[in-house]
Chain A
Amino acid sequence: MLEIRELHASIGDKEILRGVNLTVKPGEVHAIMGPNGSGKSTLSSVIAGREEYQVTSGDVLWDGKSILELAPEERAHLGLFLGFQYPVEIPGVSVSNFVKTALNAVRAARGEEALDASSMLKKMREALQLLEMDKGFLSRSLNEGFSGGEKKRNEIFQMAMLEPRLAILDETDSGLDIDALRIVAQGVNGLRSAKASFVVITHYQRLLDYIIPDVVHVLLNGRIVKAGDKSLAYALEERGYDWIKKEVE
């Protein structure tokens, strides 16, 4: 459903992605690991359509069609979700208002009617329950004064509400305690059973104990240089990235 072909992207004259290839099929979970600054967040931003980055060559296909010309919201309407590494604060906008606005915008774009208030509330309650979150959370200002872990849970809450076909989770596990990690994994696995696909960016193998990936990729210097199964994650955690760097050279 997602196919990335020889993708090159840069910011200013600095090339950050230098030929990325990645294919994700429905229901698959792909993990991307790689050292700091290797381009993981850049890759997710480019897929999501952040205009700051220029795509210089290559393509990103969704169900076989290029999405590079689409605005970020149009990609979201297709069912793409990005769980941000650093979710932003929007003061004065409550979580419930934000999620409601987002969900109805997506529905409108798909020609569906806005969800009535009671269905919306019901859906929010279910998502909160799944993620073991308190409902007082809904009336808080979006990400404002949230702890690191709360911000990440909020991302998963939104994901559960929007039910994407493909979710990219950029270090959603960073800063989570063990319980939160388990809960986030529940959220992911719940959607996964409904044939959604995932690209999970992480530095830690332990997330992958909860969300079993089909493939683990190593992104190094703007390129995917190695792929393997879950055991690759263990190897990385044990040995670091140096041996791969050497292999590549």
Chain B
Amino acid sequence: MSQDELLQEVTATDYKYGFYSDIETDRMDAGLSEDVIRRISAKKMEPQWMTEWRLEAYRIWLEMDEPDWANVNYQKVDFQAISYYAAPVKKQISSLDEVDPELLKTFEKLGISLNEQKRLSGVAMDIIVDSVSVATTFKKTLAEKGVIFCSMSEAIQDHPELVKKYLGTVIPRTDNYYAALNSAVFTDGSFCYIPKGVRCPMELSTYFRINEANTGQFERTLLVADEGSFVSYLEGCTAPQRDENQLHAAVVELVALDHAEIKYSTVQNWYPGDAEGKGGVYNFVTKRGICEAYAKISWTQVETGSAVTWKYPSCILKGDYSIGEFYSVALTNHHQQADTGTKMIHLGRNTKSTIISKGISAGQSHNSYRGLVRMGPRAENARNFSQCDSLLMGDRCGAHTFPYIEVKNSTARTEHEATTSKIGEDQIFYCQQRGLNMEAAIALIINGYAKEVLNQLPMEFAVEAQKLLAISLEGSVG
């Protein structure tokens, strides 16, 4: 079988999670203005300082230009055509019985029955559907340890001092176009605070889902790990199939104080558009963490979705001896475009960072790695190791690597390795000869290729991620 035929076989797949659940929503008319922002803030009964904070962000955003330097092409977003608020109507719930049955069905289709989760996995979930949290479990167990895990809206009400202290400190409103927009209009997200010296007793998990046509999603997540604490946080999502492009511009801020460790894992599976490249989610995310002395932040991501992805989870290694890690698998198929990577900003002495990026491109997709390693003047003995591998399936796709390295301290060292390979017909035939069909063979090879990254994920998530990679490349067979 020729490479071309192979490619045809493995690239013709429909999106597995393309369904739309019918939940009553309270949504605002499309359009963006100061008035709209005031209304969002009012609907959420926010304090004055929050409203002002949003308005300031909006003014900053108005002054900015949409970036176009990423290696992606897409139809520009009409920001006036988006509705900036949609909340499921039934909001106050104390038990699962009160959750909209449609919503529960949705979660079951996604394979994450809440009951199951509650009973078996010990994973606390803050579920976001259309901008507002509708169910939060395990709060009690967490509360015993003093861990705060709630929606951003609740945090603004119940822990304003923490929100005020940290919101926008890692990603200021002026940071970039989408971060400014998010700061102005974010409707919800997750907030998490781990007190000093506490090891969070369970993995914290959020499942995101876009659910309302034309509703931009602007989640805002803030995670603060106080001195000497540890938390592992999981973020995963799938989105229903639809025709119009959907904008997703989340902001995630991580703060790791002295000796704290944050492990942040993402499995991202937004609707990527159909085989012709129509529809699909635009995913313009800003994720950044700051490490104080001896702190560690580890980003692990498996990206298979979105029509266009623009995302660079980054670490500011401010404190001496702090560590930043970035493990990424980005898979693109059909007409998907991804421009992802990381920034490791070494400010402190003896700071260390590791970047492992595995790109997989199939179909006519484009997959770019863009990474910046900056060693500041104070970064004595800082170290970086980067490895960027690309795997191509077929010859109509593209892989690009843009490593930027800036070193302003002569004792700092960076090391960069890059490889590009093609999935071999030899490898596939070898597997087939041993009894695996083509899909199983490709899944096996891909998972092997991405193993270093998948190994970083918590067990249940790793299994899900493996399946997702396989599904994303699945052919029309069977």
Contact = CB atoms under 8 A, between A and B. Distances in A.
Contacts of A102: 431, 434-436
Given A52-B425, A98-B444, A71 B432 contact: yes
B122 interface: no
A92 interface: yes
Contacts of B429: 48, 50, 72
A105 interface: yes
B220 to A, nearest CB: 36
Nearest to A106: B435
A81 B429 CA distance: 12
A121 interface: no
Contacts of A98: 434, 444
Contacts of A52: 1, 425
B432 A76 contact: yes
Contact of B448 (A77, A141, A162): A141
Contacts, number: 77
B435 A71 contact: no
Q: What is the interface residue range for chain A against chain B?
A: 20 to 34
Interface string B401-425: 0000000000000000000000011
Interface stretch (A83-91, A112-120, A127-135, A213-221): A83-91
A244 interface: no
B436 A73 contact: yes
Given A93-B444, A93-B447, A88 B426 contact: yes
A92 B436 contact: no
Contacts of A87: 430
Given A51-B1, A93-B447, A105-B440, A88 B427 contact: yes
B110 interface: no
B445 A77 contact: no
Chain B, interface SS category? helix
Contact of A90 (B1, B430, B432): B430
Interface in B444-472: 444-445, 447-452
Interface string A31-59: 00000000000000000111110000000
B388 to A, nearest CB: 15
Nearest to A143: B430
A50 B1 CA distance: 8
A101 interface: yes
Contacts of B437: 71, 73, 105
B449 A105 contact: no
A90 B448 contact: yes
A172 interface: no
A162 B434 CA distance: 8
Interface of A: 48-52, 71-73, 75-77, 81-82, 84, 87-93, 98, 101-103, 105-106, 109, 141-142, 158, 162
11 contacts: A48-B433, A49-B433, A72-B432, A73-B436, A76-B433, A88-B427, A88-B430, A90-B427, A91-B449, A92-B450, A105-B434
Give 4 nearest A-B pairs by CB, closest first: A92-B448, A93-B448, A92-B451, A102-B434
Given A72-B433, A73-B435, A77-B435, 8 more contacts: A76-B434, A82-B433, A88-B424, A90-B431, A98-B444, A106-B434, A109-B435, A162-B434
